[in-house]
Chains A and B, each alone.
Chain A
Amino acid sequence: MIFTIALREIKTLFISPLAWAMLAVVQVILAFMFLAHIEAYLLLQPQLLTIDNAPGVTELVVGRLFGSAAIVLLLAVPLLTMRLISDERRNRTLSLLFSAPISMTEIVIGKFLGCISFLGLLLLLITLMPLSLLVAANLDIGIILSGLLGLMLLLAGFVAVGLFMSTLTQYPAVAAISTFGVLLLFWLLDWSGDENNWLSQLSLMNHYEPFLRGLFDSADAAFHVLFIATFLVLSVRRLDADRLGS
């Protein structure tokens, strides 16, 4: 049942030009960034040779590429998630889901998974770029995988926030702008001075960055999972409240 909803979500995405435009734009921008990172690495290379234990090409190129991808997708994901529920509410199609024998949790998880699968495809395309370096260089696959896992968790968090914002309103644009605001705020929380400040503990950035260095900390992973779960539960609660009419 979750599958049915997820599949339809993907189908709707690819029927509309939005998905294609997003794939194209993100790919073009990241390709440019990727090339820029490689160029920067080539300029740095002579100096790196003189340093012991210098960071390798994987860390300098792939790590930075995934870092930039997070920022680009911070802008793109709100546009993807904005219409998840708000559109259905606006077109009065929610009642189709509400009067079908499925629970709110299934609706929310179905929509969530639909979006995640699309972003999975996007990630695959992004990852193909650094993998092309395999032809000429030795890559640290461990760092790539850890970066990929980090980015996936981060994006799942973005989608969860976007989904929740989409349940709050019937205007996709409002959902998009509020998702963007919330995500940016969570991104910037570590700007609040002291590094061990409790606010910076909540920063998405702080829990993403270690993955890019190839450092898998279960605490960071747990933070992302909790972050995702919180917003999914909030979405289910919001849809339930719809029925109660409050």
Chain B
Amino acid sequence: MVSGCTCSVGTKFTSAIDKVPAPAFNAQRVYISPRTDSLRMSSELLVEVNGVSRSYGNIQALNNISFGIGQGEVLGFLGPNGAGKTTTMQIISGNLAPSAGNVSIAGHDLLTEPRAAKAMLGYLPEQPPIYRELTVDEYLDYCAALNRIDRAQRKHARDTAKEKCGLQDVGKRLIGNLSKGFRQRVGLAQAVIHLPPVVILDEPTIGLDPLQIREIRNLIRELGKDHGVILSTHVLPEVQASCDRVQIINKGSLVLSDSIDGLSRHMKSSLLTVGFRQAPDLLLLQALEGVQSVQADGERRVQVFCDPNADPTDQIVKLAADKEWGLIEITPQGVSLEQLFLEFTKDEQKAAAGAEA
């Protein structure tokens, strides 16, 4: 992680209309993977977040966050509840003003040119902003009008958005009578109706059933082809399923920014779940090459933590066959958010402890 200069920009914004000189570019960046670096060189950034901080009274919700996102990129914003995900989404979407720092959307500063910047983004908040008393068509027409789509093109825009989100059959129905999954889709359609370059989605799959989750994920991947998408979630598989790049936020600070493939590089161990018919001898498993630690999970199942570069699967199979333990299951667990989290917060705690000492 590169620790840059600390942000000294403390401009207080009193009103969106105020002309505020753009704060100096803040050089702080967290770890940036080679892929995004080259992307940054080649194409213009759609969203640029520079040294954004936000506090609610005494609580510091965001602390000097900087990142960018380019065309055709799906960025996963990952963190536990209360880490500052929603605050970040609200700031980028113009619903909340940052206490310090600035955000620009497709080259327009969100505070000095709010209208131009907001025309470039679509936002789906955690709770979709829908009017239950309207029909889907009425609602989407209203959203199209709000986003300044010409009267002549509104019908086309509405139909395209409905098709994208699979709403063709419910156009005449009241939103209040739709199921939660459909309401979520109406919310999505609202966010993409004006074909914004940037789409911001705050926990889009929360409260949906697995089938709906899969549909929404497909939709997000589809959107990622022509839009820049920022997706916040606290579920890691979601990021793995639909994102190109991931950022982890914890207690208001970015702790990691990397591509999905790069994630596993940060793991100091990977996990295998192994099941046997007979109770195995943990000490023998522990002694295998590449195994870091072994933990019993019930009587006949073990969790094997191993070196990510040395895969002990073959040796475990061989050992189980020799000892006649009756191997019935061996599953690689991949990376879990909990593990990643422990990894990153552990580093921080160590650093904090070191600083104190």
Interface residues of chain B, those whose CB is within 8 Å of chain A, are 13-17, 54, 56, 90, 93-97, 114-116, 118-119, 121-123, 125, 127, 129-134, 138, 142-143, 145-148, 190
Q: Contact check, A96 vs B190: say whether CB atoms are below 8 A apart.
A: yes
Given A4-B145, A91-B129: 17 more A-B contacts, CB < 8 Å: A12-B133, A15-B133, A91-B131, A92-B129, A94-B129, A96-B129, A100-B147, A101-B116, A101-B148, A102-B115, A102-B118, A103-B16, A243-B95, A243-B96, A244-B13, A244-B97, A245-B97
Residues on the A chain within 8 Å of B16, using CB: 103-104, 240, 243
Contact among A93, A94, A101, A102 with B130 in the assembled complex (CB-CB below 8 Å): A93
**Beta-carbon nearest neighbor of A1 in chain B:** B148
Q: Contact check, B96 vs A4: say whether CB atoms are below 8 A apart.
A: no
Q: Contact check, A97 vs B96: say whether CB atoms are below 8 A apart.
A: no
- State the CA gap A8–B138 with chains docked (Å): 10
Shortest distance from the beta carbon of A233 to any chain B beta carbon, whole Å: 12
User: What is the number of contacts between chain A and chain B, taking CB atoms within 8 Å?
Assistant: 78
Is A95 positioned at the interface, with any CB of B under 8 Å from its CB? Answer: yes
Shortest distance from the beta carbon of B227 to any chain A beta carbon, whole Å: 15
Residues on the A chain within 8 Å of B93, using CB: 95, 98-99
- State the CA gap A25–B148 with chains docked (Å): 38
**Beta-carbon nearest neighbor of B118 in chain A:** A101
**Beta-carbon nearest neighbor of B148 in chain A:** A101
Q: Contact check, A99 vs B133: say whether CB atoms are below 8 A apart.
A: no
Residues on the A chain within 8 Å of B114, using CB: 101, 103
Residues on the B chain within 8 Å of A1, using CB: 145-146, 148
Q: Contact check, B129 vs A93: say whether CB atoms are below 8 A apart.
A: yes
Q: Contact check, B146 vs A16: say whether CB atoms are below 8 A apart.
A: no
Chain A interface main SS type: helix
Q: Contact check, B121 vs A99: say whether CB atoms are below 8 A apart.
A: yes
Residues on the A chain within 8 Å of B121, using CB: 99
Residues on the A chain within 8 Å of B123, using CB: 95, 99
**Beta-carbon nearest neighbor of A92 in chain B:** B127
- State the CA gap A4–B131 with chains docked (Å): 15
Chain B CB within 10 Å — which of A99, A101, A244, A245 has the most? Answer: A99
Fill in one digit per residue for A59-98: 1 if any B CB lies within 8 Å of its CB, else 0: 0000000000000000000000000000000011111111
Q: A101-B119, A103-B115 are in contact. Are A95 and B133 (CB under 8 A)?
A: no
Shortest distance from the beta carbon of B128 to any chain A beta carbon, whole Å: 8
Residues on the A chain within 8 Å of B190, using CB: 96
Chain B CB within 10 Å — which of A101, A102, A243 has the most? Answer: A101
